[in-house]
Amino acid sequence: MCGRIYIKSTLGDLLREFSFAQRERVEGLSNQVPRYNGAPSLYYPIIIRDVVRDPDVFGPTFVSARWGLIPSWIREQKPVRPPPVNARCEGISANGMFKKAYADRRCLIPIDGFFEWKDIFGTGKNKQPYAIALKSGEPFALAGVWETWRDPQTGEDIRTFCVITCPPNEMMATIHDRMPVILHRDDYERWLSPERAPFDLMKPFPAELMTMWPIDRKVGSPKNDTADILDPTEPVP
């Protein structure tokens, strides 16, 4: 799964790194990054192509969205269950919660890295957190899907998203049985294209291009949102 991310880049860094995306809607995004311990329910910059709702947008564009997908057909003022933050790639094209977004509303989620917890003894009570990033140290994009949900009480349109996960690569398999889908740069355009089912892109990213290191357990609380979250530490014996 993927339930925590970090973005140490500034908004300017992201705009330069993902320069193919338009910048017309970046107002208000600067207060969303950097974010060293990003949890669900918060807002993040994502990249979409929304030609249906905005025909003046001819290419990918940065927008703000809340992590935790709420499909447009949900009518409750407050959905009973927490909105899903992940969608498994297996069966996503048939799952009623995700299939329309997967077909028509895919997105890129720019990040610098993510966190995962290793269950040391298999009991779920003693877990070692790890930070995971690219060896190059550059920002990268996770594959996601997005929706727009209208709050029935306020009439406000709220854009939401979730991260797609896949089986782990060799490195990730040593700490967890899932990992987020990391897209290669050459595949960004295709992921955002009108193609209905680019299933072959949802696969484990090469382990040799990634790195991970143990970090302090204070990452477990989203209230701890400082750069030292990423400092390496000795793993729990």
User: For each of the chain's 237 residues, which pLDDT tens digit applies?
Assistant: 899 999 999 999 999 999 999 876 676 788 889 999 999 999 999 999 975 555 555 689 999 999 999 998 887 766 657 899 999 999 999 999 999 999 999 999 999 999 999 988 766 678 999 999 999 999 999 999 999 999 888 889 999 999 999 999 999 999 999 999 999 999 999 999 999 999 999 999 999 999 999 999 999 999 999 999 999 999 877
**Which residue bears the tokens 């349109």?**
157
Q: Which of 2, 89, 107, 166 is catalytic?
A: 2
Tokens of 163: 């991260």
Cα separation, 69 vs 163, in Å, equals 9
List % helix, strand, coil for the chain (3-state, nearest 5). Answer: 15, 30, 50
Q: Give yes or no: 162 in active site.
A: no
Q: Which CATH class is domain 5-230?
A: alpha beta
Q: Give yes or no: 2 in active site.
A: yes
Cα separation, 110 vs 76, in Å, equals 30
pLDDT value at residue 124: 65
- The candidate with the shortest Cα–Cα distance to 176, out of 97, 120, 232, 94, is 120
Note whether 169 and 208 are within 8 A (CB). no
- The candidate with the shortest Cα–Cα distance to 10, out of 109, 161, 107, 112, is 112
Tokens of 143: 């594959």
| Beta carbons within 8 Å of 134's beta carbon, 6+ residues apart | 113, 140, 209, 210, 211
Tokens of 112: 């610098």
- Count of Cβ atoms closer than 10 Å to residue 171 Cβ: 19
pLDDT value at residue 31: 85
Q: Where are the domains of the chain?
A: 5-230
Q: Which of 89, 116, 147, 162 is catalytic?
A: 116
Residue 235 is which amino acid?
P
